[in-house]
Amino acid sequence: MAATRIFTPKNRLAGIIGDSQDPTAEALQARAEARVESLKEDIEQFLAQRVATIERIATEREDILFAECLALGEAALSVCEVAGSAGHKTLGEVARGIHAMVDALVTQGVWHTEALQAHMNALAVVAANPETPVEDVGKMLARLKAMRDRIGVQD
């Protein structure tokens, strides 16, 4: 009779699933929030630079605005991605609208200078007045969204 052989397969989840010594989800979240808080000044500076880029482009003539639309879209996307971590959700939402309009130009050929200018003006207002009342912010965001819908810009 052959000798009994015990085969123990490798546990492929051992490197993924932790043990009782690993930090909890709550501890990881608290550390992440503390890290974001420690970066708040850098995040604010980053946002200020991107908003300044958008505001600079907003003052240009239409032909220059059109030529710089990719830089505008990139700056808006940066603001959109980072603003919430610094407590500037409205700023991020308006920037998301700007990015959607630039994306519509690139993907669909949709270009409406006046609508884009309205979004950039809204961004300047929100950046200058971060304590705007919630009801005013909601109305502004709804109107910008309605404008994008009317001109065929998909969010």
User: What is the mean predicted confidence (pLDDT) over 27-51?
Assistant: 93
Choice between 19 and 113, residue whose per-residue pLDDT is larger: 113
* Confidence (pLDDT) at 85: 86
Choice between 23 and 55, residue whose per-residue pLDDT is larger: 55
* Confidence (pLDDT) at 131: 83
Structure tokens at 70: 């990719």
- How many beta carbons lie within 10 A of that of residue 23, not counting itself? 11
User: What is the mean predicted confidence (pLDDT) over 18-46?
Assistant: 90
Choice between 43 and 18, residue whose per-residue pLDDT is larger: 43
* Confidence (pLDDT) at 114: 93
| Domain boundaries, given as residue ranges, for the chain | 25-151
pLDDT at 1 over 70: no
pTM of the model: 0.80
Model confidence over 100-136: pLDDT tens digits? Answer: 999 999 999 888 999 999 999 999 999 998 888 878 8
